[in-house]
A and B are shown apart, each in its own frame.
Chain A
Amino acid sequence: MNRIDEKFRELKGKGKPAFIPFITAGDPDLQTTKDLILEFEKRGADIIELGIPFSDPIADGPIIQASYSRALTKGIKVVEILDMISLLRRESNIPIVSMVSYSIVYKQGYQTFIERARDAGLDGFTIPDLPVEENDEIFEIAKKYDFKIVCFIAPTTTDQRMLSITRKTQGFLYYISVVGITGVRDTLPDDILQNINKLKQKTNVPISVGFGVSTPEHARMVGNVADGVIVGSAIVREIEKNITKSRNELVKNVGGLVGELVLGVKG
């Protein structure tokens, strides 16, 4: 069974939502990424969303863009990220889903890429710029490998689109909480709880919520209704703040923030 399915099943039994921290692979280097994932697991994170850096992300705000640049400036390659995952798998069984731009998936070839990603120990992809109507084949291939392609729903999604997206998504559904790009925000949108509840009535797939979820308080609020809470920019910003510190110190400080967020979600 895929680690993502297993995790959501386990959490459902406990009646707890998943906490899903996002970091960028190779920010500032792959050893740190590996250490951070292990640290997050220790602190109680349930699933990791690992961003594969891309030169031209259009769904990401300045904080995540900057983390992609930090990784790419050092010449990071997809194959090195997969190698790091392979090494990590000797120490950890935490589910990992990679956020990856379609440009990268297309270039690698979906069949090859999914096969390699699965062999390395990844559990799924979220591909922010691949709408459900563009590529049936990729969902079929993923199924064959028990790999997950996680789809997105936004506040702008029409009811008709919602239907086809909930049918296609695998592992969980990623609900984009705001009309906008990723980033740290002071407040959550007013309609967020209402929208999540509406979505829950349409599907039995676990719903995880991201974009703009920034504080333990936000995480708690979202966790009350959603099956998973995703925090990205707030964590990546913490990495940026600690970028000049030693690796151990960076990992400890960022881990501290993740600990607080876990507490927010799990109470």
Chain B
Amino acid sequence: MRTTALKSKFFKPQTLPAEAPSLPDKSGHFGCFGGKFVPETIMPALEELEKAYEEAKNDPTFTAELEYYLREYVGRPSPLYYAERLTKKLGGAKIYLKREDLNHTGAHKINNTIGQILLAKRMGKKRIIAETGAGQHGVATATAAAMFGIECNVYMGEEDIRRQSLNVFRMKLLGAKVIPVASGSKTLKDATNEAFRDWMASVRHTHYILGSVVGPHPYPMMVRDFQTVIGKEVKRQILEKENRLPDCLIACVGGGSNSMGLFHPFIGDIHVRMIGVEAGGIGSDIGQHASTLTSGEIGILHGSASYVLQDSDGQTLPVHSISAGLDYPGVGPEHSYLKDAGRAEYVSVTDDEAVNAFQECARLEGIIPALEASHAIAFTMKFAPQLRKDEVIVVCLSGSGDKDSFEVAKKLGYKI
């Protein structure tokens, strides 16, 4: 173990259980996490999806088609960019940014939606539904559906529609129907409930493109697999640039798809530390944050066992984050597993720290990161100075901040 790991005030050394890289097991469990907790009506559809995905994964035609669209349509590989001015300012480890914001539609979400739309086509499904928080997954789904000419309905909480109006308009332009959700907290959790309810009725002809590594098996595994293109590219790119693996990976965690996509190819590389950054919101009281892994308990939400922010009865608690994409009381089951296994660590940063990082990254690097990714950068700003100059951090810049301009302007008191 390197000395910095021991010196750091943030972390203990990470550990690797032997079974970790091969999870989930056949029944979709990551240890005590994961599983399939959904009504019987959609159980057969999950079995069908699992089977279709297993077949597709091993079919060279499918993988070739996926690679084709990722390259020619999404614009992969995305650059791994050395953030020189940010590195110099912080005066510690060398910082690389994985530029998922440069993908078509401006975020990592499209890696998954292209994969799932190809699968939906293969299964002969005639209609697509999705949930969205910040709207990035909604836009990525609408985009994939438009490209293949498939009908698409996106569920979105009314609160998120308000704070992400640009993405709502983009989805409409792309021919998708955006269905406002007025129940509960009117955010991502409620949009997910509504998408499941739609699927309960439409399951025979509709595929539900879940946008994160959450939900019932096989979603956490399948979405992860589609997103691991991020980590696989990083591995190749950092070897080219630095001739070694990074010391640390940092990514934001809402449901946890960009972080899992970055982390997973490195799970077996025990010296690469993996740090997930959650939304610390405006405080540590109930309803002020969305730090599921850092302050939640094990429970059931949206079809899987994982850490959840809930009360002593198992009722979901209200959450808050300035970032609509992180404003979620649950998290992917594999993250819960990695946390308890001691292979990944999870921290949180506040709304204010994220907004500060948003501006710093814009000024220092000429890159406006999404508020979600700004959480990862905010933590990097605290963490990098503690590392040596010859150490290397890779941060997943999961999306572009264009969509957040209005919300940040409002927060900073600008009128636009």
Give the nearest-CB partner of A61 in chain B.
B197
**How distant is the Cα of A77 from the Cα of B40 in the complex, in angstroms?**
27
A128 contact set on B, CB distance < 8 A: 39-40
Q: Does the CB pair B41–A176 fall under 8 Å?
A: yes
**Contact between B314 and A101 (Cβ–Cβ < 8 Å)?**
yes
Residues of A within 8 A of B190 (CB): 56
- The contact of A161 among B43, B183, B184, B303, by CB within 8 Å, is B43
**Chain B residues with CB under 8 A of A154:** 39-41
Distance in Å: Cβ of A101 to nearest Cβ of chain B: 7
Known contacts: A128-B39, A134-B37. The answer to whether A107 contacts B197 by CB under 8 A is: no
Distance between A159 CB and nearest chain B CB, rounded to angstroms: 11
A103 touches B197 (CB 8 A): no
Is B8 on the interface with A (CB-CB < 8 A)?
Answer: no
Choose among B41, B47, B184 the residue that contacts A179 (Cβ–Cβ < 8 A). Answer: B41
Inter-chain CA distance A118–B189, complex, in Å, is: 33
The answer to the question of A201 belonging to the interface, with a C-beta cut-off of 8 Å to chain B, is no
Q: Is the CB–CB distance between A107 and B201 below 8 Å?
A: no
The B-contacting residues of A in range 105-152, CB under 8 angstroms, are: 105-108, 128-131, 133-134, 151-152
Spot the interface stretch: B64-72, B305-313, B366-374.
Answer: B305-313
Measured CB to CB, the nearest residue on chain A to B38 is: A129
- Please tell me the size bucket of the interface on A: 35 or more
Task: Assess the A56–B189 pair: CB atoms within 8 A.
Answer: yes
Q: Which residue of B lies closest to A60 (CB)?
A: B197
The 0/1 profile, CB within 8 Å of A marked 1, for residues 183-220 of chain B is: 11000011001001100110110000000000000000
A152 to chain B, nearest CB (A): 4
Q: Which of A60, A108, A151 contacts B314 (CB 8 A)?
A: A108
Most chain B Cβ neighbours within 10 Å, of A65, A78, A130, A156: A156
* A133 and B183 alpha carbons, distance in the complex (Å): 31
* Pairwise interchain contact B299-A103, C-beta atoms closer than 8 A: yes
Q: How far is the CB of B28 from chain A (nearest CB, A)?
A: 10
Closest to B183 in A: A65
With contacts A129-B39, A154-B40 known, is A107 near B299, CB below 8 A?
yes
Find out whether the CB atom of A59 lies under 8 angstroms from the CB atom of B200: yes
Interface string of B314-337 (1 = CB under 8 A from A): 111000000000000000000000
Report B140-192 residues with CB < 8 Å from chain A CB: 183-184, 189-190
CB <8 Å contact, A152 and B299: no
A55–B189 Cα gap in the complex (Å)? Answer: 11
Q: How far is the CB of B217 from chain A (nearest CB, A)?
A: 10
Q: Is A205 an interface residue (CB 8 A)?
A: no
Q: Which residues of chain B come closer than 8 Å to A72, judged between CB atoms?
A: 315
Determine if B201 and A156 form an interchain contact, defined as CB atoms under 8 angstroms apart: no
Q: What is the minimal beta-carbon distance from A133 to any residue of chain B, in angstroms?
A: 7
Closest to A175 in B: B40
Within 8 A of A (CB), among B21-74: 27, 35-45, 47
In the bound complex, do residue A77 and residue B44 qualify as a contact, i.e. CB atoms below 8 Å apart? Answer: no
Contact with B along A43-73 (1 / 0, CB 8 A): 0000000000011111111100100010010
Assembled-state Cα–Cα distance A56/B38 (Å): 12
Flag whether B114 is at the interface (Cβ < 8 A).
no
Cβ-based interface call for B290 (8 A): no
- Chain A residues within 8 Å of B305, by CB: 106
A151 CA / B40 CA spacing, docked (Å): 9
Say yes or no: is A153 at the interface (Cβ < 8 Å to chain B): yes
Contact (A55, B316) CB under 8 Å given A131-B43, A156-B42: yes
Q: Which residue among A69, A102, A165 has the maximum number of chain B CB atoms within 10 Å of its CB?
A: A102
Quote the shortest CB–CB distance from A119 to chain B (angstroms): 18
Q: Which of A102, A152, A179 contacts B201 (CB 8 A)?
A: A179
Contact check, A130 vs B37: say whether CB atoms are below 8 A apart: yes
Inter-subunit contact A103/B203 (CB<8 Å):
no
Q: Given A59-B200, A161-B44, is A129 in contact with B314 using a C-beta cutoff of 8 Å?
A: no
Asked if A158 CB lies within 8 Å of chain B CBs, one says yes
Asked whether A181 and B303 contact (CB < 8 A) given A106-B314, A107-B312, A161-B44, the answer is no
Please report the C-alpha to C-alpha distance between residue A105 and residue B204 in the assembled complex, in whole angstroms.
30
Task: A133 to B204: give the CA distance in the assembly, Å.
Answer: 22
CA distance A181 to B44 in the complex (A): 16
Q: What residues of B have a CB within 8 angstroms of the CB of A192 in the complex?
A: none
Q: Is the CB of B316 within 8 A of A56?
A: yes
Kindly state whether residue B301 has any CB partner on chain A within 8 Å.
yes
User: Which chain A residues lie closer than 8 Å to B44 at the CB level?
Assistant: 156-158, 161
Q: Does A30 contact B (CB under 8 A)?
A: no
Q: Mark A175-208, 1 if CB is under 8 A from B, else 0.
A: 0101111000000000000000000000000000
A sample of 20 more A-B contacts (CB under 8 A), given A103-B301, A131-B36, A157-B40, is: A54-B315, A56-B189, A56-B190, A57-B193, A58-B303, A62-B183, A78-B313, A101-B314, A103-B315, A105-B314, A128-B39, A131-B43, A133-B36, A154-B39, A156-B41, A156-B42, A176-B40, A178-B201, A181-B197, A181-B200
Give residues in B with beta carbon < 8 Å to A. Answer: 27, 35-45, 47, 183-184, 189-190, 193, 196-197, 200-201, 203-204, 299-303, 305, 308, 310, 312-316
Lowest 10 A-B CB distances belong to which pairs?
A: A107-B314, A180-B201, A154-B41, A58-B196, A103-B314, A103-B300, A104-B314, A152-B40, A55-B315, A59-B39
